[in-house]
Amino acid sequence: MFMDINVPLKDDNLLVLSFEGSEDKESSPNRFDVGLREAYLDVVSVFGGMKALRLGLIPQTWQEAQYQASNYRFLGRTAWSITEKWKYLSYSDLGASFMSELPADYGEWALSLSNGEGAEEKEKGPHKEAALFVRLFRWSPWSLSFNYVRGNYEVYGESAGLKERIQALISYEEKDDWMVALEFMDAKDPADAIGDYKIAEGVDVSALSGESVQGQAASLYAVVHTGPKAEVMLRYDYLNAAVGETGKNLQTGILALGYQVTDDIKAAIAVDHTHFAEEFAPGVRDRSRVEFAAQVLF
């Protein structure tokens, strides 16, 4: 369950609260937990034009933009942004973000500064990180997005402590007809951080302890409208968790049928399958499942 609450304030400012509940929680003995996902002020009154300053437990701008585009996050973790579902980026963090338009209506950009540990991790040290996001839509129906994240895990030493994310996305959309998008990510992390933060679904990189590990991922998805209320979503995700090593890749396929029940209720039935290579944690197996989910806007 995701629940988003937007509270209008004076002078067009906004308070945003987001809650998440799930049975798939590893950190709690309770079967179903509800916790705070995002909580921030969106301040626009001190600026002119399309500018905003966010303060608080802010979302990752890259993931927020991807969820707005694909609109299938409500299916569950398999359908989340590849950076969130494989834990390369936390969904939110304490910090500040400034957003503005690009000149000549080329698009928009955002600069974020955050603690770097993520919403669910204890702050163990300075570990600050910065992110620059740019989205270009001057050439609509084409859209181009870029994101760069840089930080450090101080606990693993300066030589191998770099945290880096380079991301790009290109999409094409015919409104109310179909859309297709291709996303790419290049990541660098210490091997020890991959294990400690459970990045990449428990891939075994213990033999690379003390070294920097490069990961690469891609996601190709399409949404095709098949009627006034129905649409089909197809998606394929690929991750090479340790470039240059063998047996450390993941592949996920999703097929979903979505239906707009009413203006405020969207439902979907989906089947997904994940293939794990051999170099993953013991007990992890290839898996497939059928899911039913609904999204309610109120």
Residue 52's pLDDT is what?
94
Return the DSSP state at 177: T
Residue 296's pLDDT is what?
85
Residue 60's pLDDT is what?
92
Residue type, 112: S
Burial class (CB in 10 A: 0-12, 13-18, 19+), 174: exposed
Distance from C-alpha of 242 to C-alpha of 179, rounded to nearest angstrom = 31
Residue 201's pLDDT is what?
84
**Reported pTM:** 0.88
pLDDT 10s per residue in the chain (298 long)? 778 899 999 999 999 999 988 766 555 677 777 888 999 999 999 888 889 999 999 999 999 998 888 888 888 888 899 999 999 998 899 999 999 999 988 999 999 999 877 666 655 555 689 999 999 998 989 999 999 999 988 788 776 788 999 999 999 999 889 999 999 999 999 999 998 888 998 788 888 988 899 999 999 999 999 988 999 999 999 999 999 998 899 999 999 999 999 999 999 999 999 888 877 754 555 678 898 999 887 7
Residue 236's pLDDT is what?
97
Residues 6+ apart with CB under 8 A from 60: 83, 84, 89, 90, 91, 92, 93, 112, 131
